[in-house]
Structure 1
Amino acid sequence: MSYQLKDISRLHGRDFVFATRYWKDRLFNQLKGSPPKSLILCNSYPKSGTHLLYQILYSIPGLQKWDDIVSVQALCGVMNTADHIRWKVGSAPDLSIVRSHLMYCDEIVEILKEFNCKPLFIYRDLRDVAVSHARWVTKEERIFLHDLYLEQASFDEQLMSSIKGVPVGSPFGSNVSQPDIGSDFLRWNGWVEDSGTLAVKFEDLVGERGGGSEAKRIDIVQQILDHLSISMPADQVTEKFASYTLNPSESHTFKKGGKGSIGGWQNLFKEEHKVEFKKVAGDLLVKLDYEENSNW
């Protein structure tokens, strides 16, 4: 397996489009003397409930949807450049909600400051993330791991790959690789600790429709409004943002008992999955308050 020339060419073409939009928008605003734009960053660790947070944000008056997603890695596996992230984020209209899968590093943080981004970050029990990731890879033909996962004999093997990662050179000659889930999440963990970012748990935001607490969901929504300096009467918050008021067809995360519900990993993890997960991310579960100790 290798990256195709057509993928590289397509990515260069994509970057040309966003660079053109970025510079055109920047020049136009300078000529008009417009104030700098302000954006809302709807960021997540992949497969952690991006659309759940996005639904909340686009239901807030004054904020607008933006169709594109900004990521550190293209679906074909090629890592995106800092310029790509700057051009793509910078081409979003003022007060847009920018969905993203951006890891935490100084360079990305500085880029986001250029556009007055108010960052929000959603994360999830990494065991449920592993299950969701394995399912996604097997269904998404464009993802660089897709063919490799389809060559595996069972979902148990695919889930194990999402936990342990895929070492470069396996199978022989492959340049496709994926870190283990613990090492991978550590690239995003800075958002959880960043004082300027509101980090929320999927489990706290999903509400009763996804098997969580409705009271906790409303509390988190209020924190989101406060983070964005948006005022709304408490009764309106409860009425507008109850999980049952949103359209469940827009996101599987609201289907209680479905693949987006809380704790679904318990039905799919075998003992060998638990053993390997504890090796690569057991300590993270404790640090992120998903387990009291490593003996789960």
Structure 2
Amino acid sequence: MKKVIVNALPKSGTNLLAKSLRLMGYREQGAIGSFLVSNTTFKGRVRRFLWRNPNDSYIVGIDSPVLLPKSAIHRILGNVDENGFLSSHLGYSDELLLKILEMDYVPVLVIRDPRAVLASFIPFVVSYKPHALNEAFINMSQEERYQAALHGGRFGSVELASMLARCNALDPWYTHNAVMKVRFEDIVGSRGGGDDTVQMQTLQRLCQALELPQERAEIVAKQLFGPGRGTFRKGQVDSWREELPNEIINQTEQELTPILQRWGYI
């Protein structure tokens, strides 16, 4: 089994790919993102102190990028076994992708309609207390939350990138030939509002890239939709149409048209 690093925008389907890999026989062995230092947990505070002002660093994270020591990231990458995988939220860096490939990982990018990401992002931040933006979002109106999630800004000590900036940070992964691309909408199957044939084809491609028997795609398809680590918040790929106000949908489509076109969502 080849090691895997799964990359995505936060709330894009990282958990969905993670569950697929676990059903294929993998073990999750860590994660990389700005949350390592930005959340309010004890571990986050300790890392902020130990990893402050690094001389040799990668820019890590997408929503609120931070500088993290290369040595710390290399250590996380090096601690993964052959049957293991990492989840990540990483903007693009030639050096980091080269390191990932040198360490014999298969990089898998999960993309999802940015409008669905926007709809999922807000309830997650509001409900997850350790999130660095939790307190700020709790004190906003729902309209202010949508505007913040779409346009970004500074909220207390936390800088949130706009949705356009977040998508642009991920886009070089999407266009790189060494990265396998998986659409959230292609892997959920009919019970998640997708297509079972497309789901099987996508899972078979994943098995081929990871040098796994094709039968494992069938195992995943049978068990993917169900109990898991928050894989499906509402279970339908188009639920954002009912959740987002029309004005926010219009603003998102105006600002993200090139990304939506390139990623195949319009």
Query: When the two structures are superposed, what TM-score results if normalisation uses the length of structure 1?
Result: 0.74
Q: What is the match of residue 53 of structure 2?
A: none
Q: CA deviation at 1:72?
A: 4.2
What is the aligned length?
A: 240
Q: Which has the larger radius of gyration?
A: 1
Q: Counterpart in 1 of 2:9? A: 45
Give the gaps of 5 or more residues in structure 2.
Answer: 40-63
Tell whether 2:33 aligns with 1:58.
no
* Percent of aligned pairs with the same amino acid: 22
Tell me, yes or no, if structure 1 residue 202 matches structure 2 residue 189.
no
Aligned residue in 1 for 2:150: 163
The equivalent of 2:51 in structure 1 is none
- 1:117 is aligned, of 91, 105, 121, to 105
Q: Does 1:182 align with 2:157?
A: no
**C-alpha deviation, 1:225, in angstroms:** 1.1
Higher relative CO (Cα under 8 Å, sequence separation at least 6) belongs to: 2
Matches of 1:276 and 1:83, distance apart in 2: 40
In structure 2, give the amino acid aligned to 1:161: A
What is the root-mean-square deviation of aligned Cα atoms in Å?
Answer: 2.2
- Structure holding more strand per residue: 2
Equivalent of 2:89, from 101, 112, 121?
A: 101
Higher mean alpha-carbon deviation, 52-61 vs 130-139, is at 52-61
Q: How many angstroms does 1:217 deviate by? A: 0.4
In the alignment, structure 1 residue 128 sits paired with structure 2 residue 106:
no
**CA shift in 2, pair 1:246/1:206, >3 Å:** closer
TM-superposed CA distance for 1:122, in Å, is: 0.6
* 1:147 alignment partner, one of 120, 135, 138: 135
Distance in 2, Cα, partners of 1:190 & 1:282 = 17
**Does the Cα contact within 8 Å between 1:44 and 1:100 map onto a contact in 2?**
yes
Question: Distance in 1 between the 2:246 and 2:128 partners?
Answer: 27
Deviates more, 1:273-282 or 1:88-97: 273-282
Structure 1, unaligned runs of 5 or more: 1-36, 292-296
Q: 1:249 to 1:38 in 2, by over 3 A?
A: closer
Q: Which one of the candidate residues 187, 209, 224 is aligned to 1:246?
A: 224
What residue number does 2:200 align with?
218
Residues 23-58 of structure 1, C-alpha deviations (whole Å, 9 max, x = no match) = xxxxxxxxxxxxxx9521122221111111112222
Q: Distance in 2 between matches of 1:97 and 1:158?
A: 33
